[in-house]
Structure 1
């Protein structure tokens, strides 16, 4: 039971409130509504069939928030979580058959021998309690680190699970090696077994769960609504945030190639090298991207098939127009808070999570004035 709630770039600004003034963007006049406040560094969200929302908080709490934001209940039954630094409770997604199975998946920083790592659990949600919790993926090896966990979850069109990871901050060279899960996109069946179409299932001394490699820290992932391909974005170091299409067996270059540099200056490898994938789009300076969704609802016909990316560094929602697999135009919409996640809701609205100790769940709707 839920408890009561205790570019050419166009840069537009607003002060968020429950009844914010209309905001004029390039394609649509919008208003941004505050659905919930007081969230502790919210990280990921997923919508339940009744329109209510599960929201993860990085400190290790999973909140169940009603569609109107008036009621909230913390979910019981989470496993032990190492909530330090960038780690904690991260993404959450429901199974396609959730209405009957009650199954969901969530990622988190898992403590263990050697430190911690990104892990994914499967569970059933029964009366705001998680039951039958089982770990279906545990990134190996573990390191004592507070950085670069990834970690977005995407269910593909065959019902299998994509998991994005990071290089753990200090282990960048491991992203180029296939005998570990560091800096990889992972592709598994929902029972945790490797997908049979993975590129390295028959290769000795390679992790069979690997889909693609050479990634730094992927905090955005979404399926293209037409092609079904996995699009990702990842944090560059100082500059060089990237958007990629994650294809099986492809090497995306980190740390051999990047458009960023060491913090404080200094080159990291090259910007291009034969055999390594170039990004579809990149940002210098970094926008610190997090969260990503393709928009394909009717509420905003002007935004059909656009790609939306949150920006932590600049407090923006970045709207990208696509021509095939190319970014043809970029608009930046100023939100004024660190945007951690971006999702399209069942009502066709765009939902945002803002990253702070008093984080918010926001909804972008067409302007009514």
Structure 2
């Protein structure tokens, strides 16, 4: 651990975390390079990759605003904070009880970027997870609390209260989605709500399954939603006809995009538009898993069409619009974590049009990708023992 300086006492506890960790270190240091595929743009795909330890079924990550500390959720219900300055890990207490199993457990984590200059050792934290209900039912929830780092060796979540629940709770353990993203002005919170493998509810706006909901930061329905006059929970809905959205992010122009899993084929990149119906399960460019046909999207089907459709699927984990200059020519491109593809997928944009320009083979299922304060990519592999990888130009 680094020795404290004479400035130590003047820093907030979260700032101190950038200098000190707790009792154990992941030590890092395992380095490799990926092949360089042919692609458009200046970066040639040659990564220098450094491994920084393993995590227990990591699901999501986010940098704590104003720090180089990476908060990592683990699906069984645990979380850790990784100090990218010194390779140390801090465990986090005060986490919710989750319904772990299948695709369920602890899910997404999100912070408010505007709190990056806070002078106190707390940040507002938003978490999503699977919550058990009556009988054999469960559903996704979002909670809001405070991340407290009272010292350089301990962090906890306090005052964590559920502010939104997927409606209704149903049987099964799949397609929770529960990704969280804030509008660029931080006035609204968008949450993806999967159709829980029930299909038909995605076309029924009397529930929030198979939707994206638009909420105030306290979890209440936001004004101006397309069905605001129809009562709860319909008044929460921003889009519907969605399947299983594990990826959402805003581009630099303030447009919200999402990628959702199709069935056997038909993964979709969609521009998120107010009141849009994306067609699931009536239309899909994929087929059912039993081989039965689902009609493809057509120009006259009345549904909002995907900007890109993938068959075979890429099975996305998350995605992030890259906003940095470490990788030449990549600024503004979308980087997608690929599960089935075991790759990072790079997508370039021309306004509201998009095209895939590269795939970077990672050799393992990739659950999450974010970029750090200096522009490096930080990647989490999927599953037990999933590694945290730091990617820089070779």
Normalised to the residue count of structure 2, the TM-score between the two structures is 0.86
Q: Does 1:106 align with 2:127?
A: yes
Which residue matches 1:250? 276
Which residue matches 2:196? 168
* Contiguous gaps of at least 5 residues in structure 2: 1-20, 150-154
* Whole-angstrom CA distance in 2 between matches of 1:69 and 1:355: 23
* Whole-angstrom CA distance in 1 between matches of 2:338 and 2:31: 23
Size of the alignment, in residue pairs?
Answer: 356
Between Structure 1 and Structure 2, whose CA radius of gyration is higher? 2
Picking from 191, 194, 201, the partner of 2:218 is: 191
Which residue matches 1:10? none
Q: Say which is worse superposed, 172-181 or 263-272, in terms of deviation.
A: 263-272
What are the Cα deviations for residues 100-142 of structure 1, in whole angstroms up to 9, with x where unaligned?
3610101111112251111111010112110111111110100
* Whole-angstrom CA distance in 1 between matches of 2:303 and 2:202: 13
Which residue matches 1:5? 25
Which residue matches 2:105? 88
What are the Cα deviations for residues 311-334 of structure 1, in whole angstroms up to 9, with x where unaligned?
100201111122221123421110
By how many angstroms is 1:270 displaced? 3.8
Picking from 147, 162, 186, the partner of 1:125 is: 147
What are the Cα deviations for residues 158-198 of structure 1, in whole angstroms up to 9, with x where unaligned?
312111121111x1100001111101001111111111121
* SS of equivalent residue, structure 1 residue 98: helix
Q: Say which is worse superposed, 18-27 or 110-119, in terms of deviation.
A: 18-27
Q: Does 1:28 align with 2:43?
A: yes
* Whole-angstrom CA distance in 1 between matches of 2:374 and 2:346: 19
**In the alignment, is the contact (CA less than 8 A) between 1:45 and 1:56 conserved in 2?**
yes
Which fold has the larger relative contact order, with Cα–Cα distance below 8 Å and residues 6 or more apart in sequence? 1
Picking from 290, 303, 311, the partner of 1:264 is: 290
* Whole-angstrom CA distance in 1 between matches of 2:225 and 2:320: 24
**In the alignment, is the contact (CA less than 8 A) between 1:243 and 1:281 conserved in 2?**
yes
* Contiguous gaps of at least 5 residues in structure 1: 7-15
Seen in structure 2, the aligned counterparts of structure 1 residues 312 and 22 have a Cα distance that, compared at 3 Å, is closer
By how many angstroms is 1:31 displaced? 2.5
**In the alignment, is the contact (CA less than 8 A) between 1:80 and 1:111 conserved in 2?**
no
* Whole-angstrom CA distance in 1 between matches of 2:91 and 2:143: 18
TM-align CA RMSD: 1.8
* Whole-angstrom CA distance in 1 between matches of 2:59 and 2:133: 22
